[in-house]
Amino acid sequence: MHSVSSILKEDSLLPYLRVEGKSCLSGHVNISGAKNSALVLMAASLLCKETLVLNNIPKLTDIDVMTNILKSLGANIKRNKNKLQINASGLNGNQKELPYELVHALRASLVCIGPLLTRFEEVKIPLPGGCRIGARPIDEHINGLQALGVNVRIKDENIIAKITNPLRKLIGTKINFKCKSVGATETILMAATLAHGTTIIENAAEEPEIQDLANMLNKMGANIKGAGSSQINIEGVNRLHGCIHRVIPDRIEAGTFLIASAITRSPLTLSPVIPHHLESVISKLEEAGCLIEQSNEQVKIIPPQTINSVDITTMPYPGFPTDLQAPYMALMATARGTSKIKETIFEKRMQHVGELQRMGSKIQLQGNTAFVSGVKSLKATSLTGGDLRSSAAMVLASLSAQGISIVEGLSHLDRGYENFEDKLSSLGVNISRSMIKSPNRMKKNTKILEQPNIVSSDAEVA
């Protein structure tokens, strides 16, 4: 057992945020380009030998990793602020392999396999494996590629995909996904654009990021109909060309800031946003008592002093997004009454419960369902985000807590939120980033505490 001082000695310096609680926000926050769109649009550059220009690319570590992956494949990439120019004409040879350390750093790199198979007869990608929020299986990706005429096998922790049919091309077909998978839909959608014949995807994921991808692919010369619905039709074409495309605003970042407004009980204006992409979140926040005004590219939220507890169940789009479940739970921890929060997409996406309990929240976890009874005030403390969205939830909870909190786990936060603390600071929050020996290593434990049955009416009202 290490002594505390020896742990501190061993610690490297860690970045952390110092957050002053009982914050009030005011003004307007600029929403960045969508991470989960930008990543797949970057992968789509592999589908052609001309330059793809992407505007509104957010400055995130995930984008840096995808940039390095494309460079490792031989693509030429130039970045100027939020603009990326990618030219993948330089890829050569008849087979391609993605580097393990980069794939391991970014699961989303799996979607490169589809575009690469339109250029190379054999592609080798390390198995991305699971992550902190779940096993993240890839059977839908593999089944879809096999349906397109690709021989896919797993050998020594690698996916080896080989086109063996006499045409030496992907062959269009009908694919019916067992479950709605964003990544698998994107993989097959991109591969099918240059397949021989027609591909129909049934039970496709309907997320806005898939629509954004299809819109760009059609600008590149693809022939796609139905993206954003559960059935997508793709007529294979011979070639795609470059284009200029602007990434859609990040609906998850926008939802995070809507919740930041609600948890601090202070009004906020956000733009640019596409209100339609936020419908499920907006309707839950309105049920919780918030007044929300929408115009074409802007949303204004005016929260009440007392937030009502409102149940959610995470679902594929257009349902309530799993990526906002953790931030939303932080809000419900300060609401009046008890809410039921059910996570149906990922099996291990409740790591924030233990940290919220350490702040004094009353949460009872039964499998992937949390019963949250609001408390008058959360207690500031030292917190660690276990994944991207739970890190954001820790910051939001700290905005509301009494006192000054320390939030670690910024390597997760920086994957998905561009200039997060700068944006909060410009809204009036006293927040700063420092480097120090990890203060949280002093923390005893973050396991989720078994709590007596709290689903009762006598919980303190917030």
Residues lying near ligand EPZ in the complex (CB under 6 A): 36, 39, 108, 134, 136-141, 179, 181-184, 205, 322-323, 345-346, 388-389, 416
- Taking the least distance from each CB to ligand EPZ, the nearer of 213 and 459 is 213
Closest approach of ligand EPZ to the CB of residue 205, in Å: 6
In the complex, least distance from residue 389 CB atom to ligand EPZ, rounded to whole angstroms? 5
The nearer residue to ligand EPZ, 97 or 387, going by C-beta atoms, is 387
Q: Residue 443: name the closest of 377, 363, 384 by CA.
A: 384
CA distances to 53, 87, 91, 406 from 74, rounded to whole Å, are 17, 9, 5, 42
User: Which residue in the list 24, 48, 112, 131 is annotated as catalytic?
Assistant: 131
Q: Which is nearer to ligand EPZ, 264 or 325 (CB)?
A: 325
What residues contact 209, with CB distance under 8 A and at least 6 apart?
Answer: 34, 36, 37, 40, 182, 186, 248
**CB of residue 188 to ligand EPZ, shortest distance in Å:** 11
Exposed/middle/buried for 178, CB within 10 Å: 0-12, 13-18, 19+? exposed
Q: Judge whether 24 and 428 are in contact, CB under 8 Å.
A: yes
Taking the complex as a whole, the smallest distance from the CB of residue 69 to ligand EPZ amounts, in Å, to: 13
d(CA 448, CA 430) in angstroms, rounded, equals 29
Listed in sequence order, the residues at least 6 apart from 47 whose beta carbon sits closer than 8 Å to its beta carbon are 88, 115, 118, 119, 190, 193, 194, 217, 220, 240
Side-chain half-sphere exposure of 16, counting CA atoms within 13 A: 24
Closest CB to ligand EPZ among residues 107, 433: 107
Q: Are 96 and 123 in contact (CB under 8 A)?
A: yes
Find the shortest distance in angstroms from Cβ 372 to ligand EPZ. 21
| Single-letter amino acid code for the residue at 230 | S
Q: Which is nearer to ligand EPZ, 346 or 420 (CB)?
A: 346
Question: What is the C-alpha separation between 324 and 29, in angstroms, rounded?
Answer: 18
CA distances (Å), origin 38, targets 41, 60, 111, 208, 221:
5, 10, 12, 12, 19
CA angle, residues 179, 316, 250, in degrees to nearest 5:
130
Phi, psi angle pair for 446, to nearest 5°: -120, 20
Instruction: Give the pair of three-digit tokens for residue 99.
Output: 């580097």
Instruction: In angstroms, give the least distance from the CB of 20 to ligand EPZ.
Output: 26
Of 97 and 250, nearer to ligand EPZ (C-beta) is 250
Nearest residue to the partner ligand EPZ, using Cβ = 183
Euclidean distance between the first and the last CA atom of the chain, given in angstroms as a whole number: 41
CB of residue 60 vs ligand EPZ: minimum separation in angstroms?
A: 10
Q: Please confirm, yes or no, whether 131 is among the known catalytic residues.
A: yes
- Looking at beta carbons only, is 45 or 322 nearer to ligand EPZ? 322
Residues involved in catalysis: 131
